[in-house]
Amino acid sequence: MKKCFTIALAGNPNCGKTCIFNALTGARQHVGNYPGVTVESKSGRFSLNGMEILLIDLPGIYSLSSSSPEEEVAFRELTKRGVDLILNVVDSTIPQRSLYLTTQLAELHIPMLLAFNMSDDAERKGLKFDLPKLERCFGAPIVRTVGCRSGGVEPLLNALAAALEKLDSHGVPMLSYGMDIDGALARITEAIESLSAERCSHIPARFFAVKLLEHDACVWNLPEFRSVHPLVGNEIRHLLEKHAIDTDTFMADRRYAMLAGACRNAIGTTRERRREISDKIDAVMTNRYIGLPLFFLIIYATFWFTFTCADPLMGMIEDAFAFLSGVVKTFWPETILPYLRSLLTDGVIGGVGGVLVFLPNILFLFFAIAILEDSGYMARAAFVMDGVMRRFGLQGRSFVPLVLGFGCTVPAIMATRCIESERDRNTTIMVLPLMSCGARLPIYALIIPAFFAAKYQAFVMWLIYLTGVGIALIAARIMKSTLFKGDGEIYLMELPPYRMPTLRSLLLHMWDRGRMYVRKAGTIILATSVILFICNTWPEKTAFSRNYEKEIGEVRNNGVLSTEARENAVSALENEKQAEMLEYTISGRVGHALEPLFRPIGFDWKLTTASIGALAAKEVFVSQLGILYAEGEADEESVPLREQLIRHYTPLQAFCIMLFCLLSIPCLATLAVMRRELNSWKLTVAEAAGMFLLAYIVTFLVYQAGSLCGIGTALGG
């Protein structure tokens, strides 16, 4: 018996497919992108009764056509050779609508197993299923699951094992679209079979006949079927003349009619059907008056949770890296390879450690976002925000990518594929970099606790995020009125029932994002930190403007000054010498060359060079400052970066740092994805230039106004 199997996991969005995928594969998952398109691919492996199974999680789709990139990907994956079984996850609370995709999957004649998920919610709604009737209709076994509950997929494992053992004897679906359609399909099928197309021989010819009759682009463009286009065209014209309706619409109507008959005979309701708890919660959460304030309150609570839980762990990580650096300095004498010693302690440990210290913030933020997503609230947030966003020229569907932008702009831009309107999609892509991504979080986590009292920290964080959202909406309104002008489109929104998230799912979500952050710290940020360290130390200055050694000796031998005064004077001279050395380096020269441009927004040359380094990745801003101020220390006792910043900058400058990092040019990875999605160098370059000008102008106004009014201008917090 075959021991290795490939299973394709298919289903509608919000059907619980991800929960089932996580429950089956656990941490043995691989996330990437399908080649040629920006749709996320996810696969995982697991063992079952001695069988090794590769589970491919297809994008959530409502039909197997080619009206969206997700549907094209699903079509391509399912029509490739090698798929042994389709695991079709069905939302059993809305069976008639969810089974529409099933009718198309059944036409592939690939063995299929139906997982009627959320069966507990279906029971609460009073739905009763005659599973044997439905199994005969679709030619596939059905198992009831609760993907979000521990143990809820145990019946699925047993059903999977049984289905894989009987792949050669799977049922044939009883699908009929009426005499007219069936006749046309028979004639097209016969013509396709006469072609003997080897590439498509593993899929029934009738499936391709259906797709050709629907004028599906994926099949219509296949060169193997060009010779049957005239026949298909005649059949389409015949059906149009007889029924006065396009064949694709006619086919959809027939599918729904067929489903209505199947569901009427196999699905019933009990007399105890009652209003769901979800409806009662929605009466409050989506209320036209309090829904929006509740949304902002929930986002505020998310940031409060992130800061409160992460702060103790950040301190522990910070101490651990300081201890590691100290150990290296203790056992590695300063006289042996001093340059390499400094590269390791200040460049690698200081740079990468300065970024990894904010890993708890990333983990807890994504943990909170996962709760909002898995519980079903995120869809309500999109519904609540739909009215607001339409005033700015967008739709509620744009809200999901914008919220994902709080995590990482790259997958958020990819998520705009769910927006059918090209104008709305392009507008959303252009404003997404204004959403404060997780890469900016280390900057906020460094600045806010250093310059703002604990009771104001969550508010400042909330204000920064809200500033990005506000400016993004204003920019969207301007672009929809000029660059992407056009009529708005109707947006139909689906609100899935509220569910209790599983700890396993939340931890997996947090693990995935945390792993990506650590991977970035170990690759891009590590390489950038080494490059920046070299720029911060080379070339070395040998001739100084003053004889610092002589002056330091004179101060130490000065018997008039107190011990504390001598130590302070020596420290000041040593820091002046280090500052002169830094100014002579590549970073110093570049920073000083650009400092006149950045001085009006409160930046010195160190902040300027850190801003340039942040183009590689926003977190590099923190690691660059850590390297610069580590280099500036005259003794072996390093001072925490936060204390260094408090000594050199005012709260007004600190706020302007966060503001500029929020609004300025995104990282190079984001620009690369924007170029691919917009398919325009012109728009991508315009985006980068426009964001720099926006960041500069807004920060300039805030800094100058704050300086004029004396707000936050006191050094040292």
Of the listed ranges 100-109, 374-383, 697-706, the least confidently predicted one is: 374-383
Q: Name the average pLDDT for the chain.
A: 80
What is the distance between the alpha carbons of residues 33 and 39, in angstroms, rounded to a whole number? 6
Taking 60 as the threshold, does the pLDDT of residue 207 lie above it? yes
Identify the pLDDT of residue 656. 93
Taking 60 as the threshold, does the pLDDT of residue 653 lie above it? yes
What are 191's two structure tokens? 């013509």
Using 50, 70 and 90 to split pLDDT, how confident is the model at 680?
Answer: confident
Taking 80 as the threshold, does the pLDDT of residue 617 lie above it? no
Identify the pLDDT of residue 631. 44
List all residues 6 or more positions away from 520 whose beta carbon is below 8 Å from its beta carbon. 617, 619
Considering only residues 672 and 360, tell me which one the structure prediction assigns the higher pLDDT: 360
What is the distance between the alpha carbons of residues 78 and 59, in angstroms, rounded to a whole number? 12
CATH tag, 4-169: 3.40.50.300
User: What does each C-alpha distance from 648 to 434, 641, 704, 717 come to in angstroms?
Assistant: 28, 11, 18, 10
Using 50, 70 and 90 to split pLDDT, how confident is the model at 89?
Answer: very high
Sign, CA dihedral 169-174-179-185, equals: negative
In the chain, % of residues over pLDDT 70 = 86
Q: Can you tell me which residue has the tokens 């947030």? A: 381
Classify residue 239 as exposed, middle or buried by CB count within 10 Å of its CB (0-12, 13-18, 19+).
buried
Cα angle for residues 333, 571, 612 (degrees, 5° grid):
80
- Going by their DSSP bridges, the two strands 142-144 and 40-48 should be labelled as unpaired
Considering only residues 421 and 550, tell me which one the structure prediction assigns the higher pLDDT: 550
Using 50, 70 and 90 to split pLDDT, how confident is the model at 616?
Answer: low
What is the distance between the alpha carbons of residues 20 and 24, in angstroms, rounded to a whole number? 6
**How large is the average pLDDT for residues 360-380?**
79
The 10s digit of each residue's pLDDT in 656-668 is 999 999 999 887 7
Taking 50 as the threshold, does the pLDDT of residue 707 lie above it? yes
Of the listed ranges 3-12, 14-23, 47-56, 391-400, the least confidently predicted one is: 391-400
List all residues 6 or more positions away from 398 whose beta carbon is below 8 Å from its beta carbon. 389, 416, 419, 424, 427, 428
Taking 90 as the threshold, does the pLDDT of residue 696 lie above it? yes
Taking 90 as the threshold, does the pLDDT of residue 491 lie above it? no
What are 175's two structure tokens? 């699908």
**How large is the average pLDDT for residues 265-283?**
66
Identify the pLDDT of residue 108. 87
Identify the pLDDT of residue 571. 73
Considering only residues 716 and 292, tell me which one the structure prediction assigns the higher pLDDT: 292
> In this structure, how many other beta carbons lie within 10 angstroms of the beta carbon of residue 27?
12
Report the b/e string of 372-406 with b at 16+ CB within 10 A: bbbbbbbbbbbbbbbeebeebbbbbbbbbbbbbbb
Taking 80 as the threshold, does the pLDDT of residue 237 lie above it? yes
Using 50, 70 and 90 to split pLDDT, how confident is the model at 704?
Answer: very high
Considering only residues 239 and 652, tell me which one the structure prediction assigns the higher pLDDT: 652
Considering only residues 273 and 551, tell me which one the structure prediction assigns the higher pLDDT: 551
Of the listed ranges 205-219, 584-598, 613-627, 675-689, the least confidently predicted one is: 613-627
Identify the pLDDT of residue 331. 87
Identify the pLDDT of residue 431. 92
Of the listed ranges 306-310, 401-405, 434-438, 487-491, the least confidently predicted one is: 487-491
What is the distance between the alpha carbons of residues 239 and 174, in angstroms, rounded to a whole number? 23
Taking 80 as the threshold, does the pLDDT of residue 178 lie above it? no
Using 50, 70 and 90 to split pLDDT, how confident is the model at 638?
Answer: very low
What is the distance between the alpha carbons of residues 372 and 68, in angstroms, rounded to a whole number? 26
Please provide residue 572's backbone torsions phi and psi, each rounded to the nearest 5 degrees. -65, -45
The 10s digit of each residue's pLDDT in 407-445 is 667 667 766 765 666 788 888 899 999 988 877 888 888
Classify residue 694 as exposed, middle or buried by CB count within 10 Å of its CB (0-12, 13-18, 19+).
middle
User: What does each C-alpha distance from 109 to 5, 105, 608 come to in angstroms?
Assistant: 17, 8, 62
The 10s digit of each residue's pLDDT in 458-488 is 888 888 988 998 899 899 888 888 887 765 5
**How large is the average pLDDT for residues 73-92?**
88
Identify the pLDDT of residue 184. 86
Using 50, 70 and 90 to split pLDDT, how confident is the model at 33?
Answer: very low
Using 50, 70 and 90 to split pLDDT, how confident is the model at 87?
Answer: very high
Taking 50 as the threshold, does the pLDDT of residue 635 lie above it? no
Using 50, 70 and 90 to split pLDDT, how confident is the model at 143?
Answer: very high
